[in-house]
Chain A
Amino acid sequence: MAHFTLTSIIFLPLLGSFIILLIPRKFEDTLRGLSLLLSTITFGLSLSLWFGFDKSNTLFQFIERYSWISELGIYYYLGVDGFSVLLVLLTTFLTPICILISWDTITHKIKEYYFSFLFLEAAMVGVFVALDVFLFYVFWEAILIPMYFLIGIWGGKNRLYASIKFFLYTLVGSLLMLIGILYLYFQHSGTPLTFDLVTIIQNVSNTPIPYKNQIWLFLAFAIAFAIKVPLFPFHTWLPDAHTEAPTAGSIILAGVLLKMGTYGFLRFAMPLFPFAVDFFTPLLILLSIIGIIYGALVAMVQTDVKRLVAYSSVSHLGFVVLGMFMLNHQGVTGSVLQMINHGLSTGALFLLVGVIYDRRHTREINAFGGIAATMPVYTTIFLIVTLSSIGLPMLNGFVGEFLILLGTAKNNWVWTAWAATGIILSAVYLLWMVQRVFFGPIVHEENQNLTDMNWKELAAVIPILIVIIWIGIYPSPFLEMIETTTDTFLKSRSILTISSVQFP
């Protein structure tokens, strides 16, 4: 049966972005309203994934497969499984929120702004649903341009430096991945040559890729993904990009773009190169633990709230990578859930930091203090989100981090201890920041007359809050979506590992 659910989720925003281009720029509110409407409809469409997703199905669902460039074996091949379906939903969920929060803050080049945003949404969804390696690469690269514009045009003072750094960093990684993709295609995609991921995975599980090739190919893919995650020591672009990006850009960057890296590991690097994964697992675990602790320690000494949240991302993404390389049920499931959690919590944190920045035009922790008295609603919401980011039980962060730590504990207690340190440190830096910003006496005159959140800001943040609490209290619907795919993923790996015994 032919259905176009995924195609419509990609092409509605894409089409929308071109409609935006056709509307004269003097109709500012029409531009804003239309892009909000389009992204909301897109979210509505993607809900059919939530309801139509078969939780017991081990294969890809909502498949669409057409020949695209037949000469080169390239397909327009889309589909979702438990790993990607929630990420698609996260993308379509966060985009309308980002558009809403930009309503008043983005005042120049509005047309370009909403064009970039809708284009970005289309490409992000594309990354998560593409099952053809070439198609995936096209979407992966297409993200760079709108994101570059978002940082570079609507960003802060140092935006040019940050945007170029972001662009070049990711581009170098992905070009190496392109070569890896092509090498994989020529050497190991079977006959006839194809970019179809499902076929390639089948082929490499029948005739495994030689050990040495796996090492190199894994490196080519993993560096691109590690830069995106970002894994220590490839993280240096992230604080700059986050700090300089506009609020909505940071939300989308933290919420979705970083997940492209972790998703890439799960979807491509790990199933394709199982032996290399075994080889590199200790290194990757080490790097992720360093990332967890280093990110937390650096976050602690930040004076800029946004930069602090950015470093906390490095720390949290360390957990995600740690969980997936535990290669057991709890670790991988927790890791996928934690991707969603981080997207929600950190997205909300960036949103809230944006709210205060719009009022005071500074993010220095010293410039605040005692604003709980003037902005009670804001303070409450900020506290809830912070606690979710720390991993307080009954909020979403706890579920993911707990599962990851459980998975880690199954393999190694020492790693678990180090990783748990990260959680403690996160409580330290986040709560310390909350204390300095919200409580105590008001020292600065400007903070006396701050207005609390307006309805647009509330409308943007409350949906996130609802999901945060939902996942915290009743995570089963989410976990069930992930678990079947986790099992399939681990089973196919164990078959491969057994066959590796016979492999010379």
Chain B
Amino acid sequence: MNSTIDILDQVNANLPTIILLSFALLMLLIDLFLPKRNHLFRSLLAIGSLCIVYLVVKLLLQEKTVYTYFFSLDSFSYFFHILFITVLVFTFLLSGPYFERTKIKFPETSLLLFFSTAGAMIMISANDLIVMFLGLELMSICLYVLAGMLRKRVQSNEGALKYFLLGAFSSGFLLYGITLFYGITGSTNYSEVNQWISQTSNKLSLTFWIGAGLILIGFFFKFASVPFHFWSPDAYEGAPTPITAFFSATPKAAAFGTFIKILIVAFPLVVSDFELILKIIAIATMGIGNFVALQQKSVKRMLAYSSISHAGYLMVALVVKSNLGYSSILLYLIVYSVTNLGAFTIAYLVNRKNEGSYSYEDYNGLATKYPVLAMFMALFMISLAGIPPTGGFFVKYYIFYSALKADQLLLAILMALFSAISVYYYLKVIVHMYMKPLPDSYETIKSDTHVTMGLIFSSLIIIIIGVAPSFWLTLTNRSVSNILINP
């Protein structure tokens, strides 16, 4: 195929990523001249530069599409780029008091966050398995470090190590799968793999299936789907809470986005062969995620397991294997990321005594003392539980919708039952906030205007998607159906 590399195109296709990275480096430079403890200015700087990246993506490029052998910049990549930037903006908005409290070094953290976002962006726009792998590794390695940011805490170290070891394993699987693919198809480019499959259909060798299986396993690790989920609760629990929020948003979205792109571009002909395995894993993920979340005593761990169950719901939409299902995943990712960012923020705000307990009891009487905060948390919980009129309901409904359209009645019913179970543990937080008496000794919660702003924004997004989803539906549908496939 046409493999002449036009440097200019290549640069164009990566413009958002390049701008993001240059800002990250610039910030590192500026940092040298700033006083030591000035989180506010630094996070404002980060948010400002992200806004510039956003404006570049939105205004300067104006949805211009570029296709090259290694990368493509299409509406699908734009969607995820903007999602990642938004998540990062939210992370900076919402994490101020945490950095203040735990004395984690802000410059390093923000740099790692920028880099892993860049990795995620590369993953999404990649057109080639190897390039995708590079993006994935850039993202993951930053994440391993971020998970262990609380160096003096054992849990953080344990979580980071577990995450690193299992993540390295999964990367190994993925890479081995890619190698096998290269061995039999002679290429790692998505479109060329697809072409090869269409030429040799019906006679796909065992090696092909092993390769495909290994790639799937690599992604299942990243989704944190059962039985490859063991790293995630510990990594989530050990990581600094704003970083946990970031974990549940960007890497998950990047993994699902990339997987969708691979399914659409590289595996459209064999995708139905994956149905059974995806189905089994989806059911297992929903089941284990929900049942284990029920028994958690720490809100942070509960949110970690709930994020496993949400991966299960997303996999239901993957089984549907239609553009409708994929676009429901995109919509779900928006709502889910924003909600989780908010929920984890309140989790760390509330947990102020000893880092790491995050017990439900900390929430007792929150509504009496901090009604606004409690109301935000209630909204996030209701959205995660999927009850109207929140966005969480609409996106869950949209997955039901796509599942039933594809005649996946069993999956839809199971998903309905599991999400009914999930309501119990989300409501438990509300019970503690609103229905338990205020304890006698009550420390004040330190928040700042940034956090309030971030919470207001995220609540607005949740409610708007719940009430007026039309615009967002069009957006996600367009993003999925306009993936560039070797024009």
Bind each other: yes
From B400, B420, B430, B474, A182 is in contact (CB under 8 Å) with B400
Are B435 and A160 interface neighbours, CB within 8 A? Answer: yes
A69: chain B residues within 8 A (beta carbon): 469-470, 473
Are A141 and B388 interface neighbours, CB within 8 A? Answer: yes
Are B371 and A72 interface neighbours, CB within 8 A? Answer: no
| Chain A 166-191 interface mask (CB, 8 Å, partner B; 1/0) | 01100110011011001100100000
B57 interfacial contact with A, CB 8 Å: no
A144 interfacial contact with B, CB 8 Å: yes
B368: chain A residues within 8 A (beta carbon): 108-109
A148: chain B residues within 8 A (beta carbon): 427
From B387, B405, B417, B469, A145 is in contact (CB under 8 Å) with B387
Total chain A interface residues with beta-carbon distance under 8 A: 37
A304 interfacial contact with B, CB 8 Å: no
| Chain B 424-444 interface mask (CB, 8 Å, partner A; 1/0) | 100100110011000000000
Are B397 and A178 interface neighbours, CB within 8 A? Answer: yes
Distance from A179 Cβ to chain B, minimum over Cβ atoms (Å): 6
A440 CA / B387 CA spacing, docked (Å) = 51
A186 CA / B419 CA spacing, docked (Å) = 22
Are A138 and B389 interface neighbours, CB within 8 A? Answer: yes
Are B371 and A175 interface neighbours, CB within 8 A? Answer: no
Total chain B interface residues with beta-carbon distance under 8 A: 33
Distance from A395 Cβ to chain B, minimum over Cβ atoms (Å): 39
A69 CA / B427 CA spacing, docked (Å) = 29
B382 interfacial contact with A, CB 8 Å: yes
**Nearest CB in chain A to that of B401: its residue:** A182
A153 interfacial contact with B, CB 8 Å: yes
A72: chain B residues within 8 A (beta carbon): 401, 473
| Chain A 289-307 interface mask (CB, 8 Å, partner B; 1/0) | 0000000000000000000
Are A141 and B387 interface neighbours, CB within 8 A? Answer: yes
A445 interfacial contact with B, CB 8 Å: no
B389: chain A residues within 8 A (beta carbon): 138, 142
A69 CA / B388 CA spacing, docked (Å) = 15
| Chain B 401-430 interface mask (CB, 8 Å, partner A; 1/0) | 100110001001100110110011001001
Q: How many A-B residue pairs have CB under 8 A?
A: 85
Q: Is the interface of A mostly helix, strand, loop or mixed?
A: helix
A332 CA / B466 CA spacing, docked (Å) = 37
B430: chain A residues within 8 A (beta carbon): 152
B400: chain A residues within 8 A (beta carbon): 178-179, 182
A160: chain B residues within 8 A (beta carbon): 431, 435
Q: A159-B435, A175-B416, A179-B404 are in contact. Are A145 and B382 (CB under 8 A)?
A: yes
Are B431 and A142 interface neighbours, CB within 8 A? Answer: no
A179 CA / B413 CA spacing, docked (Å) = 7
B90 interfacial contact with A, CB 8 Å: no
Q: Is the interface of B mostly helix, strand, loop or mixed?
A: helix
Are B427 and A164 interface neighbours, CB within 8 A? Answer: yes
A163 CA / B382 CA spacing, docked (Å) = 15
Are A112 and B387 interface neighbours, CB within 8 A? Answer: no
A182: chain B residues within 8 A (beta carbon): 400-401, 404, 412
Are B420 and A168 interface neighbours, CB within 8 A? Answer: yes
Are A142 and B388 interface neighbours, CB within 8 A? Answer: yes
A70 interfacial contact with B, CB 8 Å: yes
Of the candidates B367, B400, B427, the one having the most CB atoms from chain A within 10 angstroms of its own CB is B427
Distance from A134 Cβ to chain B, minimum over Cβ atoms (Å): 8
A25 interfacial contact with B, CB 8 Å: yes
Distance from B420 Cβ to chain A, minimum over Cβ atoms (Å): 5
Q: A109-B368, A168-B420, A175-B420 are in contact. Are A152 and B470 (CB under 8 A)?
A: no
A350 CA / B73 CA spacing, docked (Å) = 64
B404: chain A residues within 8 A (beta carbon): 179, 182-183, 186
Q: Tell me the chain A residues, 131-157 only, with Cβ under 8 Å from chain B.
A: 137-139, 141-142, 144-145, 148-149, 152-153
Are A168 and B387 interface neighbours, CB within 8 A? Answer: no
Are B423 and A167 interface neighbours, CB within 8 A? Answer: yes
**Nearest CB in chain A to that of B435: its residue:** A152
Taking Cβ atoms with an 8 Å cutoff, the residues of A that contact B are: 21, 25, 68-72, 108-109, 111-112, 137-139, 141-142, 144-145, 148-149, 152-153, 159-160, 163-164, 167-168, 171-172, 175-176, 178-179, 182-183, 186
A-B CB proximity, top 5 nearest = A175-B416, A138-B388, A182-B404, A141-B388, A152-B435
* Contact sample, A vs B, 30 pairs, CB 8 Å cutoff: A25-B371, A71-B477, A72-B401, A72-B473, A109-B371, A112-B367, A112-B371, A138-B389, A141-B387, A141-B388, A142-B388, A148-B427, A152-B430, A152-B434, A153-B435, A159-B435, A163-B431, A167-B427, A168-B420, A168-B424, A171-B423, A175-B416, A175-B420, A178-B416, A179-B409, A179-B412, A179-B413, A182-B400, A182-B404, A183-B404
19 further interface pairs, Cβ-Cβ under 8 Å (given A152-B434, A160-B431, A175-B416): A72-B401, A72-B473, A109-B368, A137-B388, A145-B387, A152-B431, A152-B435, A160-B435, A164-B424, A167-B423, A168-B420, A171-B423, A172-B417, A175-B419, A178-B397, A178-B416, A179-B416, A182-B400, A183-B404
